[in-house]
Amino acid sequence: MRMQRMASIYGGKRCLKIGAAGLLLGLLAGPPAQANESRAASLVVLPIKLLDTSGEPADQASQHARWLTGMAEGLATDLTHSGLYRATVISADQLRNICPSESVPCLLKFAQAQGADAIFIGVVHKSSTLIMQLWARLVDARTGRDIYTRDLNFRGDNDEAWRRAEIFLAGQIRDGMRKPR
């Protein structure tokens, strides 16, 4: 009805044909984002670990636990929104219950049981108040082979530094995985 009204206002049958062609092109242009998301590979994001050799006297365990969890959740969200992965974060408690030893065979079996195509493994090394290093790996859940590895440095041990490191890492993974091999 609306197309017919547009056709009478804007030039009859020609506009109707253009409108129909536009609708057809829109349908052929590609599936909606939800359909693309269902074709994305499944990723299990394991809890990110912290190695603190800074020797700082203040106990920052609760802050670091929050930042590590936030980094894992942010990474999963960003990679899912990119359409590259459907990412799920596994909590430290869940991992301890399923794979107490965290051995490679157990982690692979766990990821496969979750239907994961890949596993994210991350370790942050805090060597001082200002210097942090992040080792990140994506591993094929079937073979255990590295898909992607990255070693990043970031400065600071606060909300902003951790958030920026996560955003940068997500971009590095997204861009690195989309490049032809």
pTM: 0.76
| pLDDT value at residue 39 | 74
Counted domains in the chain: 2
Span 3-51, pLDDT tens digits: 444 444 445 444 434 343 343 333 333 344 444 445 789 999 999 999 9
In a domain, 56, yes or no: yes
Write the DSSP string, 109-135: HHHHHTT-SEEEEEEEEE-SSSEEEEE
Average pLDDT over all residues of the chain: 83
What are the CA-CA distances from residue 6 to residues 3, 22, 25 (Å)?
5, 14, 18
First-last CA distance in the chain: 50
Instruction: Write down the pLDDT at residue 40.
Output: 86
Domain of 17?
A: 1-30
CATH of residue 62: 3.30.160
